[in-house]
A and B are shown apart, each in its own frame.
Chain A
Amino acid sequence: MLKMMIVGATSAIAQETARCFAADGASFFLVARSQEKLETLKNDLIVRGANDVYCFALDLNEFERHRELVDAAIQAMNGLDSVIIAHGTLTDQRRAEEDFEYALQELNTNAISVILLLTIISNHFEEQRKGSIAVISSVAGDRGRGSNYIYGTAKAAVSTYLQGLRNRMAKAGVNVLTVKPGFVDTPMTADVKKNFLFASPEKVGKDIYEAMKNKRDILYTPWFWMGIMMMIRNIPERIFKRLNM
């Protein structure tokens, strides 16, 4: 049975993907900061059919503990086949423009912690010559916009990193999936006014599950974001800079 580590397991989107794999009888190693929330998820996944579920509470910004984390996962499940990285925070752009500490923390959470963790995991997968990696980036990384470019920068870094990693890992038979959701109705966007572009976490979570099963490289979810981002990327900079986005 599949042995899966989910980082940022308490994310609304990741929970939905986890449920799909739980119904298939997977084993899980769940990571997020709150032990209490992880226990809640553990129960849920077991009821829904998971084989084994282990929890590990960690702030991913404690980079020096990443190796311990990966070792613990491998030991607990007696192996590791698949990793989903879903943790993230929606950056308050205005604050990040003023508050240096905050901007750094946001870049760490959304980019550096992801990249460092993947460094360890990808070496392991390359060595065992199998494995599957899925990382939730964002359409926000496809083009910088005045209203959230710190978050966008972090996501762009992750997306670029994943392109390179995919290229390298392809030779080892390891699949790397970049997930680019549009707007998702999750606690992360609780304060954002909802419009017709918002998708449910169930929909996005299920899309990720299917893309992983089908060994896809890049997933825009819902699918129409591929078209939207293609248009947005193609607006000439001299026009784009004058838009309020």
Chain B
Amino acid sequence: MATIIKHYRSWGRFPKSTPKQVIPVQWRSELPDFNAIEGTVLPFGYGRTYGDVCLNNGGTLLDTTFLNRMLAFDEENGIVCVEAGVSLEDIVSFIVPRGWFLPVTPGTKYVSVAGAIANDVHGKNHHSAGTFGCFVTRFELVRSSGERLICSPDENTELFKATIGGLGLTGLITWAEFRLKPIPSRLIDVERIRFENLGEFYEIDDESVEDYEYTVSWVDAMATGEHLARGVYMRGRHFDPPLPSNGHLSLPEVRVPFDLPSVLLNKFTLKAMSSGFYGLNFRKESRSIEHINPYFYPLDSIKDWNKGYGTRGFLQYQFCVPDKDRKAVREISKTIANSGEGVFLTVFKRFGDLESPGMLSFPRPGITYALDFPNTPTLENLLSRLDDMVLEAGGRLYPAKDARMSARHFQAFYPNWQEFARYVDPKFSSSFWRRVTGETAC
């Protein structure tokens, strides 16, 4: 377990931000008096958001991580009720031995339940399950007026929808209840299949989405020409013992083969690494049985791997685009590959059409890309071009991974933002929200 904690920075370490004060929220029965606080407030969980969604420069942060108690666990029906700051890690280590798992999980366990709601996070099963918010049955929302509201699909419905994916702006979540899913074992049966280009990706994806709960691909985004968007398709499902017919359980084969902070990155080492990833899976197809932890959270074992992020480090860029005609995906992939910018790790995934209750929720049917770019002086040229291409294709950027999109783009990506704004608590704000709505005061 980590010794050092609490930076009140975001995971991408950009932008730099200094809260005026941080108020720890320790007890649901002892909430801060919002009216006594000058300026705006924003809840802060584990700071696993990359950009400024979790920052409130010059304002107050409410540290919610002490709200980490469980309220109830219905083992029969798989429903947990926990305080807002309980981490998914805490929940996973508690429920997995009891035969349950998170219905949806992001790529790290070190996020709070309220953080998962506020960004309405998605996982490798978006195509089969939707977002985290789809499983939330109710929560308590405290408004700066002091009002405590139980929000659910039937009660305070509008605030329920606004708070899921609501970026912490609608008030303070103090506890939340959500449904789990039963699992037959702690193992995941994973198949990895190499694809040589985008066309092959689609072939495999088409045949996989129906039958595999989890799908995701690593893509060599720097490959061009006939290898455009080549990569490794990974599809998995919960492993139901007994052993496969050959009785052979192979160990996990692919580990994350890098130590980010220490690598001196340039275009060439990146290229080597990107194709290295690809080369790792030298066999066309492989199958392995993996434990839940390394499968879902490969990066969690590397402490502080984000140290390499920041102004001169990396920049995460995630968007989704509809892909009915698949043209946009091809064009965007080409633009990235031909840009000459290095790309470190690219994750590619199909989003399904299960709708989240979240008003401002990010996922839309289509393909999502999550790219890690080393932050070069020329990178912004590419990114602003991508912003436009994404917009034109009817896609959008993910606020949780963003620190730079313009107000104009945000408002076009999320055309219902003004409707959402009606539910924003007058006392709550964030650096992100001020940036994308063009407000200045905090």
Contact = CB atoms under 8 A, between A and B. Distances in A.
Interface string A200-233: 1011001000000000000000100000000000
A222 B3 contact: yes
Given A37-B29, A48-B94, A187-B66, A200 B3 contact: yes
Contact of B66 (A12, A43, A194): A12
B243 interface: no
A113 B317 CA distance: 56
Nearest to A189: B24
A40 B29 CA distance: 9
Given A34-B29, A44-B69, 18 more contacts: A12-B66, A36-B27, A37-B27, A40-B27, A43-B71, A44-B70, A47-B70, A47-B72, A47-B73, A48-B94, A185-B6, A190-B23, A196-B4, A198-B5, A198-B6, A199-B4, A200-B1, A206-B1
B3 to A, nearest CB: 5
A9 interface: no
A41 interface: yes
A24 B116 CA distance: 29
A12 B29 CA distance: 16
Interface of B: 1-6, 22-24, 26-29, 66, 69-73, 94
A196 B94 CA distance: 29
Nearest to A39: B29
Nearest to A44: B69
Nearest to A201: B66
Interface of A: 12, 15, 34, 36-37, 40-41, 43-44, 47-48, 185-187, 190, 194, 196, 198-200, 202-203, 206, 222
A40 B69 contact: yes
Contact of A187 (B3, B5, B24, B69): B24
B29 A36 contact: yes
Contacts of B71: 43-44, 47
Contacts of A187: 24, 26, 66
A173 to B, nearest CB: 32
Contacts of A199: 3-4
A56 B363 CA distance: 48
Contacts of B22: 190
Chain A binding surface, main DSSP class: helix
A-B pairs, top 8 by smallest CB distance, nearest first, are A44-B69, A47-B70, A36-B29, A187-B26, A47-B73, A190-B24, A200-B5, A44-B70
A40 B5 contact: no
Given A48-B94, A206-B1, A43 B72 contact: yes
A34 B28 CA distance: 13
B73 A198 contact: no
Contacts of B23: 190
A204 to B, nearest CB: 10
Nearest to B86: A44
A203 B27 CA distance: 21
B95 to A, nearest CB: 11
B72 A200 contact: no
A5 to B, nearest CB: 20
A212 B336 CA distance: 56
16 contacts: A37-B29, A40-B28, A40-B69, A43-B71, A44-B69, A44-B71, A48-B94, A186-B66, A190-B22, A190-B24, A194-B5, A196-B4, A198-B5, A200-B2, A200-B3, A203-B3
A188 B29 CA distance: 17
A20 to B, nearest CB: 12
A185 B68 CA distance: 14
B6 A194 contact: yes
B1 A48 contact: no
Contacts of B69: 15, 40-41, 43-44
